[in-house]
Structure 1
Amino acid sequence: MKLFSTERTDVWLLTPDLADSFQLFLLENRSHFAPFEPLRDEDYFTLDNISQRLLSARNDYDARKCLQLVFTLKGEHTLIGSINFTNFIFGVFQACYLGFSLDRAYQGKGLMHEALSKSIDYVHKTYGFHRIMANHLPDNARSSKTLASLGFVKEGYAQSYLKINGVWQDHVLNSLVLPDVE
C-alpha cells in the first residue's frame, strides 16, 4: 500500500505482499548491510521467514507498535530503501526509534534524506510523536550526516550497546525532538 510520494520516490507500507521484492532487496545488499546489522543466518533470507516477519510486522502496525516502510524510485517497483519506526511508546513519552537502510547503488544521491524527511513528517502527524531516536555506529559517517541534516542531535554515546555483526559495539545516540501536533 503506497502511503505517499516525494519528488523522486514512492513510499510504501511494508506488507506481506512485498515479500518477494523485500527478499531481493535484502539479498542484493546482504554484504553491504552486514557490518551494520546483527549476524543473519541463512534462514533470515528465506522467503518463508521474510513472509512471517512481514506478517508479524503488519500485526504490530495494526496494533500501533511500529511502522515499517520501503521505498522505490517514483513509478518503479524495485525496492531501494527501508525505513523503520519501531518500539512505539505513547503516554508521557510519545517516542519511537528510527532505523533505515539504502541499496548501495543509490547512495550519495539524497534519496534517503528525501524519503526520511517525508516519512518523519508522516509519522509525526499520524502518531503525534514528540521524540524520534536513532542510533548509529561511531564510524558510520553516512548515517551521522543524514541524521544531522534532518535535525537529529547527538545526545550521547553508549558503550557496548548492540551486538552488530557478531560483536558488541558502541553507538552514538541521537534524537529529533518535534513540536506538539495540534
Structure 2
Amino acid sequence: MKLFTTERTDVYLLTADLAPALQVFLLSNRENFAPFEPLRDEHYFTLSSIDERINNSLRDYQERKGILLVFTLKDDQKIVGSINFTNFVYGVFQAGYLGFSVDHACQGKGLMSEALSKAIDYIQQNYNLHRIMANHLPSNIRSSNTLQRLGFKKEGYASSYLKINGSWQDHVLNSLVLPEMTETLDPA
C-alpha cells in the first residue's frame, strides 16, 4: 500500500505482497548490512521468516506501536530502502525508535534523507510523536550524517549497547524532538 511519494521515491507500508521484493533487497545487501546488524542466520532470509516478520509488524501497525516502510525509486518495483519506526510509547513520553537502511547501489544519492524527511512528517501527522530516537555505531558516518541533515541531535553515548555482528557494540544516541501539533490525535 503506497502511503506517499517524494520527488524520487514511492514509499509503501510493508505488507505481505512485498515479501519477495524485500527478500531480494535483503539478500542483495546482506554483506553491506552485516557490519551494522545482529548476526543473521540463513532462516532470516527465507520467505517464511520474512512473512512472519511482516505479519508481526502489521500487528504493531494496527495497534499503533510502530510502522515498517519500504521505498522504491519512483514508478519502480525494486525495493531500495527500508524505514522502521518501532516501539511507540504514548502518554507523557510520545516517542519511538527509527531504523533505516538503503541499497548499496543507492548510497550517497540523498534518497534516504529524502524518504526519511517525508516519513518523519507522516509519523508526526499520524501518530503525534514528540520524540524520535535513532542510534548508530560510532563508525557509521553515513547514518550520522543522514540524521544530522534531518535535525537529529546527539544526546549521548551508550557503551556495549547492542549486539551487532556478533559482538556488543557502543552506540551514539540521537533524537529528533518534533514540534507539538496544534491538534492532538487520540493514539488509541
Taking structure 1 as the reference length, the TM-score comes to: 0.99
**Aligned ranges for residues 93-132 of structure 1 at < 5 Å?**
93-132=93-132
Residue 70 (structure 1) aligns with: 70
CA distance in 1, matches of 2:99, 2:11: 15
Amino acid at match of 1:49: S
1:181 shift after superposition: 1.0
Residue 92 (structure 1) aligns with: 92
**Aligned ranges for residues 1-182 of structure 1 at < 5 Å?**
1-182=1-182
Taking structure 2 as the reference length, the TM-score comes to: 0.96
Amino acid at match of 2:34: A
CA distance in 2, matches of 1:16, 1:65: 18
1:59 shift after superposition: 1.0
SS at match of 1:26: helix
SS at match of 1:50: helix
1:111 shift after superposition: 0.3
CA distance in 1, matches of 2:5, 2:177: 24
1:56 shift after superposition: 1.1
Deviating runs (4+, > 2 A) in structure 1? Answer: none
Deviation string for 1:134-156 (max 9, x for gaps)?
A: 00000000000000000000000
CA distance in 2, matches of 1:52, 1:129: 27
Percent of pairs identical after alignment?
69
CA distance in 1, matches of 2:161, 2:51: 29
Residue 185 (structure 2) aligns with: none
Amino acid at match of 2:12: W
CA distance in 2, matches of 1:130, 1:55: 27
Q: Structure 2 unaligned segments of length 5 or more: list them.
A: 183-188
Q: Structure 1 unaligned segments of length 5 or more: list them.
A: none
CA distance in 1, matches of 2:147, 2:49: 30
SS at match of 1:55: helix
SS at match of 2:133: strand
Q: CA RMSD in A?
A: 0.4
Deviation string for 1:84-105 (max 9, x for gaps)?
A: 0000000000000000000000
Deviation string for 1:4-26 (max 9, x for gaps)?
A: 00000000000111100000000
Deviation string for 1:37-82 (max 9, x for gaps)?
A: 0000000000111011101111111011111000000000000000
